[in-house]
Chain A
Amino acid sequence: MVDKPINSILVCGHGLAGQMTLTALSHNLPDNIQIIYLNLKDTQSFDQLYGSSLRPTAYNFHLKLGVTEPNLLQAGKTCFSYGTGYKNWGGKSWIQSFHLPFPIWDKTPFHHYLMQRNERLEPYLISALAAKTGVFAHPPRDAKSPLSNAEYGYHICPDDMTNLLAHKGVPSNVAIINGTLKHITHGKGNKITSIALESGQIISADLYIDCSGPEAKLLSAVGSTTQSLQSHSAFMNNIPIDKLGPPMSIVEAYSFGWQSNTPLNGSVNRLTVFNSGSESDAHMSHGYDPDIHLSFSTGRRQRAWAENCVGIGQAATVQTPLTAVPLMLLHRDIDRLLELIPITDDMDIERREYNQRFDDDCENMCLFQDALFASDGLPTGSFWDEIRNKPKNPKLTRKLTQFESRGYLVSYDFEGFNQEDWTILHFGMGRRSKRYDLKIDQVDQVNTLKRLTSLRTACETIVKKMPPHDNYISNYLNYLEKRNGS
């Protein structure tokens, strides 16, 4: 039997994942492939669980969707981000800032110098200092300036991103249908053959992309079961503010769970995550009657691609937005999908490669999130106990063992978080190694001190000259407006 070429793709979903997948496909696939977007109505949105933090890598990803930085900033409440401040997290507070790369002196990673002197990392991280001071500036081209190492990401409101993408215009090969799913018909090997809507309309395609959120309406219908980890609840509010806050979000641990406050242009996004038993404590701490109240389970589908159906975003995995992991995974899903759009209806190769990469991405990225929980100082209570009782991934144990034993950073293929992220995390969480690189004792200590002082002073001096985040954004938006107007 000759394999049938893929001619049509149905994206079934709503919100961020649906819109982003639609834009990515329509922007990157040839127009002889028909794309149908079934915009599901009457479906609860869990988009707030994608969080509002985007890492620096989002910049290049957005370009693939035809979205530039000015587009992003002009859309709603977007602002810049230097990272996340973890407060009272296992008794520690630190800024998990974006930073690339750390200096390497005498072929020895920077953190070994600090470990020998028992120093903190933060005074040497220009992005952390700037975040703390509430200032921002784009990195200069001059690689010698410490500011060139201050990588930055964005704070966004997922709905703003969805709207931005929705207004990008629809190419001729895209058809949009608004409707409610009624029935899924299966063919040979459990493949989806068509979808019936409440309206009576029947849609069929060669490939089905499920962007329907945690419920995974299509993927679950082809037998990809969930592997659920924890059940949580979340409150969310966008609290209006007059003045834009610093370019960092704050996450704080409480006995009921944790809360994040993310400055946006015009509001602060407050998200409180807890276990259902602690709702009243969480509510009190949240301080507002929630605009959005979600109940959800974290976990993942056993297979992200089953038969002729691929789950994207929360349809494949739900993670809490304690870090940028949920959005990172969504971006990875879409990148992976673009690279593996099947050529014919025999999708064995694509499915195998996709699932392998999904498993790796999911596992590797979650290591970082899990590492945040690997602290004795975190509160007790059902939320934390459940996490503590989860078996630790041996890959994480390897990372922690190596760092604690000798400051060595184990890396896996395409982890998503780089060595700088891990170093900041370990230092922030108070992990120090018993040993440091042998070279450190051989180098001239006076010279090391001089180097460290000069780096620290350079960071402080530059930060003093940087404009407040608020001013920078308004000037930047004014500039963009003028440029667009002229």
Chain B
Amino acid sequence: MKIEKICIVGGGTAGWMTAAGLAHRLQNSNIKIDLIESNQIGTVGVGEATLPHIRFFNNTLGINEASFMKETKATFKMGIEFCDWGKLGDRYIHPFGDFGMPINGIEFYHYWNKLRLSGDTSHLGEYSYPVVAAQLGKFRRPDTDSSKIESTFGYAYQFDAGLYAKFLRRHAEKIGVLRTEGKVIHINCNNENGFIESVKLENETVISADLFIDCSGFRGLLIEQALKTGYDDWSKWLPCNRAIAVACETRGKSLPYTRATARKSGWQWRIPLQHRTGNGHVYWNEFISDDEAAHQLTNTLEGPALTEPKQLYFKTGKRRVMWNKNVVAIGLSAGFLEPLESTSIYLIQEGITALIELFPDKTFPKSDMVEYNQRMDLHYERVRDFLLLHYVATQRDDSEMWNHFRNLKFPESLQDRIDSWLGRGYIARYEFGAFLPPSWVAVMNGQNLNPKAYDLRVNSSSSLEITQKVKSLSASINHAVQNTPDHQSFIELIGASINGTT
């Protein structure tokens, strides 16, 4: 008994990504896909920075990079620069890529740890091609030859999420998704099994389906308001619960990275797009008022504001189960872990991929649902620990929020990871998750968690050999970066500039 009708409620980034992803996958299947969105409610209207995984999503849909970038006014993103996180005045880039290349099969950072402990004052970032290139505002696509230093990174985009949703909408409608504008005012559930049968719009239109995807944002219209699924509140780990966002004119060179600057009661983002810069202040309302947060944000804008400040409220955590009965929650309705590492769109993508792989039939086997929920929980939990790391790896004591984090008892899994790094520069690994060892190294090192020892295998090479190899690595990075075009010129070169002709 195959699913015949799918109804996606919500036309934000999650809704249109899901619509495009499913429609692409289900082309020629006779499965009808409806998407309902309400102009009256609108979308959350933020979410501009992404992770490299998005390229895989776009490629699957057959999206041309240059036209996508042009239409969404996108820039390239090689990582995130974190300012003032460890201590005031600190800055480091968490790159989408590696630090150096392994020497004798041992990760480069072990060698660097040895050098550092012997008094070398160079920064780990100096040995990362994406860090050095990003700092100088340069960009190219990764080399396909894995022996080259220019192959050691990935990249993502910074774009206007509203335009991305529009872009995907066109794509999805072309391949059969039917869009209905209107506000859902009633949800009709089956009396016996509680499955959702249909939704009713303000204009009395009734849309029925076998499978409902809840992309209605924070409100979780179907998954929570109708099915009362419950929410795992993670604010004891990630307590920031409000944000204020505003776009401004860009000043200076186009930079291929996002910036996250720690503030006294939260942090502030800067996301450069082609036509403007997105800014936002994420904060914990326990320690700062909304007015003060807005004031701090507007005071630090690099150019004149282009939009009115937009206030957002959230509670970090995840839906107790993201697939409940015949409803799958994707996007903010499934959970939100705050935007520090641009993980929301990635988690949307994971949700879509898992749904495609576990696409149910009308009998809705429990095993599909259980597997989906287990798989998504793992992703959320792993992201949560990584985000929390940024807050707890701090020496700041200049505000109540930072004092709170310095005294926080955090999950054992995270404590163990930090101890292993500090004790001997060892990173506990996993295979499935957004953040692999180089990311953990970047943040721990960047926030002054410096190991007191290094992997003994490094001593098999003499200090002279190591110094020579490190020097030659540094030279090859500098040489490669010199030959890397400016970020802006590269955007123009590939025909992705909003000012260029196609």
Q: Which residues of A contact B (CB under 8 A)?
A: 6, 28-33, 64, 107, 338-341, 343-344, 348-350, 352-353, 356, 398, 401-402, 405-406, 408, 410-411, 413-414, 435, 437-439, 441-442
CA distance A384 to B27 in the complex (A): 48
Question: Are B368 and A442 in contact, with the CB atoms below 8 A?
Answer: no
Min CB distance B386 to A, Å, is: 15
Question: Are B27 and A442 in contact, with the CB atoms below 8 A?
Answer: yes
**Given known A-B contacts A402-B367, A408-B358, A408-B371, A341 and B457 have beta carbons under 8 A apart:** yes
Question: Are A29 and B456 in contact, with the CB atoms below 8 A?
Answer: yes
CA distance A393 to B27 in the complex (A): 39
Q: Which residue of B lies closest to A31 (CB)?
A: B460
Could you name 5 residue pairs across A and B whose Cβ atoms are closer than 8 Å? A32-B459, A411-B431, A413-B432, A438-B25, A442-B27
Question: Are A29 and B460 in contact, with the CB atoms below 8 A?
Answer: yes
CA distance A441 to B2 in the complex (A): 11
CA distance A282 to B457 in the complex (A): 47
Q: Name the contact of B426 in the complex, choosing from A349, A410, A413, A414 (C-beta under 8 A).
A: A349
Q: Which residue of B lies closest to A353 (CB)?
A: B420
A339: B residues at CB distance < 8 A: 426, 455
Q: Name the contact of A28 in the complex, choosing from B361, B374, B419, B460 (C-beta under 8 A).
A: B460
**Given known A-B contacts A350-B424, A402-B371, A408-B358, A438 and B456 have beta carbons under 8 A apart:** no
How many residues belonging to B are interface residues under a CB distance threshold of 8 Å? 35
B89 at the interface (CB under 8 A from A): no
CA distance A339 to B460 in the complex (A): 13
A402: B residues at CB distance < 8 A: 367, 371
Q: Mark B456-468, 1 if CB is under 8 A from A, else 0.
A: 1101100000000
B420: A residues at CB distance < 8 A: 349, 352-353
B365 at the interface (CB under 8 A from A): yes
**Given known A-B contacts A352-B416, A408-B358, A438-B26, A340 and B426 have beta carbons under 8 A apart:** yes
B423: A residues at CB distance < 8 A: 343, 348-349
Q: Which residue of B lies closest to A401 (CB)?
A: B367
Question: Are B60 and A28 in contact, with the CB atoms below 8 A?
Answer: no
B146: A residues at CB distance < 8 A: none
CA distance A406 to B419 in the complex (A): 41
Q: Which residue of A lies closest to B425 (CB)?
A: A343
Q: Name the contact of A414 in the complex, choosing from B25, B431, B454, B455 (C-beta under 8 A).
A: B431
**Given known A-B contacts A349-B426, A402-B367, A413-B432, A33 and B358 have beta carbons under 8 A apart:** no
CA distance A309 to B55 in the complex (A): 47
B218 at the interface (CB under 8 A from A): no
Question: Are B368 and A406 in contact, with the CB atoms below 8 A?
Answer: yes
A439: B residues at CB distance < 8 A: 25
Question: Are A410 and B456 in contact, with the CB atoms below 8 A?
Answer: no
Min CB distance A439 to B, Å, is: 7
Question: Are A405 and B368 in contact, with the CB atoms below 8 A?
Answer: yes
B207 at the interface (CB under 8 A from A): no
Min CB distance B271 to A, Å, is: 31
Min CB distance B412 to A, Å, is: 11
**Given known A-B contacts A30-B459, A341-B456, A341-B457, A408 and B432 have beta carbons under 8 A apart:** no
Q: Name the contact of A441 in the complex, choosing from B29, B426, B453 (C-beta under 8 A).
A: B29
Min CB distance A360 to B, Å, is: 10
Q: Name the contact of A442 in the complex, choosing from B26, B358, B456 (C-beta under 8 A).
A: B26
CA distance A414 to B416 in the complex (A): 19
Pairs of residues from A and B, 10 with the lowest C-beta to C-beta distance, nearest first = A30-B459, A442-B28, A349-B423, A413-B431, A343-B453, A405-B367, A413-B430, A30-B460, A442-B29, A341-B456
A64: B residues at CB distance < 8 A: 105
CA distance A55 to B197 in the complex (A): 52
CA distance A356 to B371 in the complex (A): 24
Q: Which residue of A lies closest to B458 (CB)?
A: A30
B359 at the interface (CB under 8 A from A): yes
Q: Which residue of A lies closest to B422 (CB)?
A: A349
B202 at the interface (CB under 8 A from A): no
B428 at the interface (CB under 8 A from A): yes
20 further A-B pairs in the complex, CB-CB below 8 A; given A32-B459, A33-B456, A414-B431 = A6-B456, A29-B460, A30-B456, A30-B459, A64-B105, A338-B457, A343-B453, A348-B423, A349-B420, A349-B423, A352-B416, A353-B416, A408-B371, A411-B431, A411-B432, A413-B429, A438-B359, A441-B29, A442-B26, A442-B28
Q: Which residue of B lies closest to A340 (CB)?
A: B426
Min CB distance A430 to B, Å, is: 20
CA distance A33 to B456 in the complex (A): 10
